[in-house]
């Protein structure tokens, strides 16, 4: 899918995380699972992936179990702000025992600095399978174009 997303290069922290992955693999290889580091360790919710192509910047926010209408998305002075709240749906009864509570619960807010050539007027967002996809188009003038050489 996005092979380059799996191996971000030139980032010291990413390299370190990869080393950590290798160690985990050696220690826990038999289990066949490694942790979703950015979510469970850094604690940021929702986790973000950002990709770019000629026409636009695409931001993927991993925000499962949220009513799309309740997500607050705004662009101001080149900053895209994503905020909202995720609540645990049901109250745990008196006779119930909680064995794990790893899922995020509460208010969240993440801010992304947009590139200068982005066009805030045409930002579009969609929500599918718990992933919020925000498309920030680049301004017409900033799109790469071929220039033919005349002789």
Which residues are CB-neighbours of 113 under 8 A, at least 6 positions away?
Answer: 78, 79, 80
Q: What is the C-alpha to C-alpha distance for residues 60 and 70, in angstroms, rounded to an integer? A: 17
CA angle 136, 103, 35 (to 5 degrees): 80
> Contact region for another protein (CB under 8 A) — 39-47, 70-78, 117-125, 140-148?
39-47
Kindly state the smallest distance separating residue 149's Cβ from another protein, in Å. 25
The DSSP call for residue 77 is T
> Contact region for another protein (CB under 8 A) — 55-63, 76-84, 116-124, 139-147?
55-63
> Contact region for another protein (CB under 8 A) — 2-10, 74-82, 116-124, 143-151?
2-10
- Is residue 69 close enough to count as binding another protein by CB under 8 A? no
- Is residue 121 close enough to count as binding another protein by CB under 8 A? no
The DSSP call for residue 89 is S
Instruction: Decide whether 145 or 151 has the Cβ nearer to another protein.
Output: 145
Q: What is the C-alpha to C-alpha distance for residues 54 and 138, in angstroms, rounded to an integer? A: 8
- Is residue 34 close enough to count as binding another protein by CB under 8 A? yes
Please name which of 121, 143, 115 lies closest in space to residue 51, comparing C-alpha atoms: 115
Instruction: Decide whether 101 or 151 has the Cβ nearer to another protein.
Output: 101
Q: Give yes or no for a contact between 77 and 114, defined as CB atoms under 8 angstroms apart.
A: no
- Is residue 133 close enough to count as binding another protein by CB under 8 A? yes
> Contact region for another protein (CB under 8 A) — 61-69, 73-81, 117-125, 138-146?
61-69
Please name which of 55, 73, 74, 53 lies closest in space to residue 63, comparing C-alpha atoms: 73
Q: Give yes or no for a contact between 37 and 20, defined as CB atoms under 8 angstroms apart.
A: yes
Kindly state the smallest distance separating residue 80's Cβ from another protein, in Å. 13
- Write out the residues near another protein by the rule CB under 8 A: 1-2, 4-6, 8, 14, 17, 21, 26-27, 29-40, 42, 44, 46-54, 57-58, 60, 62-66, 88, 92-93, 95-104, 127, 129-131, 133
């Amino acid at each position: 899918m996005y092979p380059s997303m799996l191996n971000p290069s030139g980032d010291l922290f990413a390299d370190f995380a990869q080393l950590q992955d290798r160690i985990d693999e050696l220690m826990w290889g038999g289990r066949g699972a490694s942790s979703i580091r950015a979510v469970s360790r850094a604690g940021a919710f929702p986790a973000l992936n950002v990709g770019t192509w000629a026409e636009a910047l695409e931001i993927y926010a991993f925000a499962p179990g949220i009513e799309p209408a309740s997500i607050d998305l705004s662009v101001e002075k080149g900053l895209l702000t994503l905020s909202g709240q995720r609540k645990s749906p049901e109250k745990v009864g008196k006779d119930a025992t909680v064995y794990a509570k790893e899922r995020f619960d509460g208010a969240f807010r993440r801010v992304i600095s947009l590139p200068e050539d982005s066009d805030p007027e045409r930002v579009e967002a969609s929500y599918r399978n718990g992933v919020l996809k925000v498309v920030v188009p680049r301004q017409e003038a900033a799109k790469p174009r071929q220039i033919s050489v005349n002789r």
